[in-house]
Structure 1
Amino acid sequence: MKNVAQQFITQRLKHLTVSDIHSYSKKYRIPVSKAEAVAIVKALKKNKENPFDPEGRKRMLMKLAAITSKDTARSVNKILIKMAKEYGVEDWLK
């Protein structure tokens, strides 16, 4: 069941919109500009890394940092962690 849920979440990440990113950034009080949100969406659509694997998430965030900035990658990581906590699956990110 865990694998199915992880696949669903990974698929959902690939289909996030700029509006979704802004909503999450406001909800979790993590500033993300419109340009950063656009870059995040593009990067997530291309992402082939597993965000639940620590090394995969690290590679994903490093690629995002190369495209945008380290601050943007940190913001995405914070949003992922807060979302995981909200849904009670934060242990999946360890």
Structure 2
Amino acid sequence: MKNVAQQFITQKLKQLTVNELLFYSKKYRISISEQEAAAIVKALKKNKENPFDPEGRKRMLKKLASITSKDTARAVNQLLMKIAKEYGVEDWLK
């Protein structure tokens, strides 16, 4: 069941919209501009890394940092962790 849920979440990341990302960033008080959100969404659509694998997530965040900034990549990681915690799956990201 965990694998199915992880596949679902990974697919959702690939389908994330700029408005959804901005909604979550406001909800969790994480500063992401509209331009950064657009770049992040574009990168997530192309992402082939597994966000549940620590090394895969690290590579994904490095790519985001190269597209936006280190601060934005850190913000995305914080956002991912807070959303995972909200849904009770934070241990999947360790």
TM range (shorter): over 0.9
TM-score, structure 2 as length reference: 0.99
SS of the counterpart of 1:44? helix
Summarize the alignment of residues 42-61 of structure 1 with structure 2, pairs less than 5 Å apart: 42-61=42-61
The structural deviation recorded for 1:88 is 0.2
Asked if 1:8 is matched to 2:1, the reply is no
Can you list the C-alpha shifts for 1:36-58, whole angstroms capped at 9, x where unaligned?
A: 00000001000000000000000
Note the residue ranges of structure 2 that are not aligned, 5 or more in a row.
none
Cα distance between partner residues in 1 of 2:92 and 2:8: 14
Cα distance between partner residues in 2 of 1:40 and 1:15: 12
Q: Where in structure 1 do 4 or more consecutive aligned residues deviate above 2 Å?
A: none
Cα distance between partner residues in 1 of 2:22 and 2:63: 21
Q: How many residue pairs are counted as aligned between the two chains?
A: 94
TM-score, structure 1 as length reference: 0.99
Two-structure CA RMSD over aligned residues (Å): 0.4
Indicate the percent of aligned positions where both proteins have the same amino acid: 80
